[in-house]
Structure 1
C-alpha cells in the first residue's frame, strides 16, 4: 500500500482523485484550507488536515508524519477572469505554493509529484487537436501561473531529482458515477453545471456566448473529459513516475462538443428544455479547443471510459438533481441524521 499527500483534495478534481486512490487501496492524507473545497467531499478513509500551504510549519509537520510515496497538487486559484483582475495574486500564490510544496517534498524524501495544470497554457493554439508540441503562450494570468509552476518543477527535478508529471486538463466535467461526489463551485463558471442548474431552476438562464463562430452550429466547441477518467489519468502518471522521467500530458477526450450540443445533452438528461439566451462572443474565446490525448494513451495505456457527452452530462445532472444544495445540503442531512 502506497501513501500520498493530496493538496486541494476537498475540491472537485482532487476529491475524485482521492476516491480513486482509496478504491485501489492507497493511504491518503488530504491537505485543504476548505476555502473552495468541501469537508463532505473528502471520502471516508482519507485523513483531512485543514490548513493552508502558506503555513510552512503545518506542511513540514504533515509530511513528517511517516513516509509519503508521492504528492498530488490540486490546491490553486483557478478562475481565469479573476486572474485578469488580480494577476499578481494569482502568479504569486500559485507559483509560491507549488514551490513551497515541492521544497517540503524534497526535504521529506518524496520522489514523485503530480501537478494539476491546465490547457490555458496554450492560449490561442495554432492547430487542432492540440498536442504537447503546441507552443505554450498563455493569454491569462492563471495560465501563466501554471506555466511558471511547471518550469519550477523542472528545476526541482534537475537539481533534486523530484520527478513530476504535469497534467494539462481541458474541461473536467461530470460526477462520480456512484453518486458520491460532484461539482460544486461558488461561483460556478463551467458550462455543464450552469446548464444543469438552469434546467433544474437552481440558477439563472444560461447565456450562450457567441453564435457566429466558424463551427457547424455557430457556437464554440470544447473538449470535455469526465472527471473519473481524469482521476484515472492521475493514477497512471503517478505510477509511471516510479521508474520513468518527468513528463507532461494533455488530458482530454480527443473530441469536441459545441455549446448547443451540451445544451441538447442536458435536455436529454432532464427531459425538458434548458432556459437560455443568446449573447455576443466573449473577447479571447477561440472557436475550437480540442486536445490530442495520443501521447497519454501510448505511454500510459489510458483511455476515456466515460467519453460520450451523454455519459458526462448524465452523471453531472444526476448528482445535482439529488443534491440541489450541493455539499452544503449533504452536510445538513448528516447533521439531521446525527441529531
Structure 2
C-alpha cells in the first residue's frame, strides 16, 4: 500500500513526499520534471518520470506499486503566464486531472487529496476568506483549479470517490536544506535572486489602502502545508468525515513591505526596495481563515515570518 504524489519532485510535492515518509507511509512519485528536480527526490522513494497525461503510465504505476491513494500536486501553476497560455494550462490542469481520475477509476484507487489554490477566489471583497467565499477566478490557472474541484465532486457522485481539495495561499520557506522554491514568478525567489545578483528587490505598488501601503497576503510555510496533506490522507484512509475543501490560511496577513524588512534583517543585506507601479489585478488584501483545516487536518502556523524567511534563504544559498 502506498500513496502516489503527482508532482512529487517539485518544491511543494517534495515536501509532501518527505512528510509522508516521516510518518513511515510508503510513497511513489510521478513527475515529468517540467518544473521539478530529480535532486529533490529522496533516496529509496520510487520515482516514475512521466506525465499525468499518460494514462497507461499512471495505471501501470498504480498497479506496480500498490497505490491506494493520490495526492495530486502536479500542474501548471503560473497564474500570470496562464493568461498567455490558456490552452496549455487547461491541458495540464484539467485534461491531466481527468486522465488521472480515469486511471484511478480503472485501477480501483478511490482516495485523492487535490492541490487547489486561492486563485479560485479571484479578488475577494471580504476581509477574511472562508471556504464559502464567492469563487471568481481571474485567470485560466484559477479557473482550472476550480474545474478540478468540480471534477472531484462529480466523480464522487458517480463512483464514491473519497476526496478533499486544499486551497493554498502564498507558500514560502523550506523544511529541508536541499529543497527550495525555484519558481521564476514567486516573491521569495525573486527577492533572493536580486540580492544574490547585487540588485535591489522591488515592490509593485505602495499606495494600497493597507497599513504600510503595500499588498497584504497570507504567507504559509511549506512544511506546515505538507503536514496537512498527510493528515488529509490519513483521514481518508480511516474513512473519517472530511470536508470537500479546506483553506490553508493563517488568518492574519503580512504585507510585502514587512516581507522586505524581514528579508533585510534575516540576510543582513540592507536595502530599500524600489517602488514599481501596481500590477493590474493585484488586490490590496487576501487573508484566509484556516479554522476548518485546524479542526480536521492538524493545520497551524508553526513558523514565524522570520523563520520562514531564514529557512528559504538558507536553502537558496546552499543551492548556489
Q: TM-score under structure 2 normalisation? A: 0.96
Task: Give how far 1:246 is off.
Answer: 5.2
Q: Is 1:265 aligned to residue 262 of structure 2?
A: yes
Q: Distance in 2 between matches of 1:141 and 1:267?
A: 35
Residue of structure 1 equivalent to 2:24: 25
Instruction: Mark the runs of 5 or more structure 1 residues left unpaired by the alignment.
Output: 325-339
CA contact (8 A) 2:228 2:298 kept: no
CA contact (8 A) 2:248 2:299 kept: no
Q: Distance in 2 between matches of 1:236 and 1:291?
A: 20
Q: How does 1:158-307 map to 2 (within 5 A)?
A: 158-176=157-175, 178-185=176-183, 188-201=184-197, 204-242=199-237, 243=239, 244-245=241-242, 247-274=244-271, 276-306=273-303
CA contact (8 A) 1:4 1:69 kept: yes
Q: How does 1:1-339 map to 2 (within 5 A)?
A: 2-176=1-175, 178-185=176-183, 188-201=184-197, 204-242=199-237, 243=239, 244-245=241-242, 247-274=244-271, 276-306=273-303, 308-324=304-320
Flag as ranges the 4+ runs of structure 1 deviating above 6 A: none
Q: Distance in 1 between matches of 2:102 and 2:181?
A: 31
Q: Distance in 2 between matches of 1:205 and 1:224?
A: 22
CA contact (8 A) 1:199 1:270 kept: no
The SS at the match of 2:5 is strand
Task: Give how far 1:193 is off.
Answer: 2.0
Label 1:141 to 1:23 Cα distance change in 2 as closer, same or farther (>3 A). same
Q: Distance in 1 between matches of 2:293 and 2:43?
A: 30
Let me know the Cα RMSD of the aligned residues: 1.4
Task: Give how far 1:260 is off.
Answer: 1.1
Residue of structure 2 equivalent to 1:335: none
The SS at the match of 1:235 is helix
Q: Distance in 2 between matches of 1:66 and 1:208?
A: 47
CA contact (8 A) 2:251 2:287 kept: yes
Label 1:35 to 1:275 Cα distance change in 2 as closer, same or farther (>3 A). farther
CA contact (8 A) 2:130 2:247 kept: yes
Q: TM-score under structure 1 normalisation? A: 0.90
Q: Which moved more, 1:103-112 or 1:118-127?
A: 103-112
Task: Give how far 1:245 is off.
Answer: 4.4
CA contact (8 A) 1:22 1:45 kept: no
Task: Give how far 1:317 is off.
Answer: 0.6
Q: Distance in 2 between matches of 1:301 and 1:92?
A: 33
CA contact (8 A) 2:242 2:296 kept: no
Label 1:249 to 1:73 Cα distance change in 2 as closer, same or farther (>3 A). same
CA contact (8 A) 1:122 1:137 kept: yes
Task: Give how far 1:9 is off.
Answer: 0.3
Q: Distance in 2 between matches of 1:113 and 1:297?
A: 20
How big is each residue's C-alpha offset from its partner over 1:89-143, in whole Å with a ceiling of 9 and x where there is no partner?
Answer: 2123311111111111122111210111000000011212111010111011100
